[in-house]
Amino acid sequence: MTRSNDGRLPYAKLVPLSLAAFVTILTEALPAGLLAQMAHGLGVSQAAVGQTVTAYAAGSLIAAIPLISATQRLRRRPLLLTAISGFIVTNAITALSHSYALTMVARFIAGIAAGLIWALLAGYAARMVPQHRQGGAIAVAMAGTPLALSLGVPAGTLLGAWSDWRLAFGVMSLLAIALFAWVRMTVPDFPGQMAAGRLALRGVFRLSGVRPVLFVVLTFVLAHNLLYTYISVFLAAAGLAQQADRVLLTFGIASVLGIVIVGLLIDRHLRMLTLASTLIFASAVLTLDAAGNAPIVIYGVAAAWGLAFGGAATLFQTALAKAAGEATDAAQAMLVTVWNAAIAGGGMMGGVLLDRVGAGAFFPVLLLLLGATFAMVWSAKRSGFPALTERIDVLPTDVTNP
């Protein structure tokens, strides 16, 4: 059947995609809140348990582009269901495993499933709605990300502390089963892309606007993870080492507000919102540098930073979907790869800065990255981050649900 172009968002069909984002992020981050319990249960150090997050990110980083390239012709819903099945199985294995090696393998495979889901979500949401509502649709689909960070991770940590860390992963497997059923019943299916209409990855990368968006993803997310990974250093300096959960909860709540604002405005003000998010993040960094020893300043910085970061994924994915058009799944796979590279790069860069120079070196690096982000968004006003009067109508508005 053909969807009407009345502009209304099909929330019943978009919310399952949001839950998929929630499951993906929560599965990735859950070990961070259960380090001690998992270390005891698996008979390894907490540092070793921390590598389960690395294994997950590595799976996404390595697999996203090859998987999307290999599956472009496949129908989208079966592909999405296959990825969700990966979370059902790998979270169940993690819950039952007493072997560190088996757990690491499960986490790596979960990361592969995550890479596939992230590459599918934005394009899937965009295909459900007319072109002028694609940003709002992607915002709904991505709402699960800040919810997982602000509510899911603390809840999972609390569940593991009250009972057992294995129960937390068992619940994640059950949640993935429920998600599988919900997607199967309510999310429409779409065809893949036939060989005649597909661009090679090099061709997708050369599309006008794709490279500026990927550059912005790299610099903005690198800055975010540089600060997020080592936030405990700045909390300790302000005497808030024991309040890390509250500070991060403040960040998470502000992130939810950020994605709400972006969802309401993105279809008319994508460029403005991206510039504003970058400026707010940079202002938070400057404030942290100037008065980071004051506890109230830390909370204010966390709120501003969360507000800036909450809608970032939606902004970048929407900009990339508009730039890539029908090649959006391949472009989103590139985004997944760049995003995970930035996560890894933030950890490595921060470690080098902290060991060789000190925490003070973070601030000029952060401002340099955010300055490069702002400059690229500002310069990409014709393609990538177009002004309102230069909207790019490239994705199909008449979609079919066989």
Structural domains in the chain (count) = 2
Half-sphere exposure of 202 (CA within 13 A, CB side): 0
Structure confidence at residue 123 (pLDDT): 82
Tell me the HSE value of 264 on the side-chain side, using a 13 A CA sphere.
5
Q: Which helix (H) or strand (E) holds 105?
A: helix 100-127
pLDDT band at 364 (very low <50, low <70, confident <90, very high): very high
Tens-digit pLDDT profile for residues 170-197: 999 999 999 999 999 999 998 876 554 4
Judgement on whether residues 31 and 169 belong to the same structural domain of the protein: yes
Same structural domain, 231 and 348: yes
Residue 33 has pLDDT above 50, yes or no: yes
Alpha-helical runs (H) found in 244-399? 244-291, 295-310, 312-324, 328-356, 362-379
Report d(CA 20, CA 57) in Å as an integer: 17
What CATH number is attached to the domain comprising 269?
1.20.1250.20
pLDDT at 398: 34
Among 196, 222, 250, the domain boundary falls at: 196
Q: In the numeric block, which tokens belong to residue 285?
A: 């960094």
pLDDT band at 253 (very low <50, low <70, confident <90, very high): confident
b/e sequence 8-45, b meaning 16+ C-beta within 10 Å? ebbeebbbbbbbbbbbbbbbbbbbebbbebbbebbeee
Q: Which of 196, 229, 258 is the last residue of a domain?
A: 196
Q: What's the pLDDT at 131?
A: 79
Same domain, 165 and 294: no
Range of the domain at 385: 199-390
Assess whether 150 and 255 both reside in one domain. no
Q: Residue range 17-37: average pLDDT?
A: 86
Query: Please, what is the average pLDDT of the chain?
Result: 85
In a domain, 275, yes or no: yes
Output the pTM of the full model.
0.79
Could you tell me if 162 and 244 lie in one domain?
Answer: no
Mean pLDDT, residues 110-135 = 87
Whether residue 33 lies inside any domain: the answer is: yes
Tell whether 211 and 309 lie within a shared domain. yes
Same-domain check for residues 281 and 359:
yes
Which of the listed residues 196, 215, 238 is the one where a domain comes to its end? 196
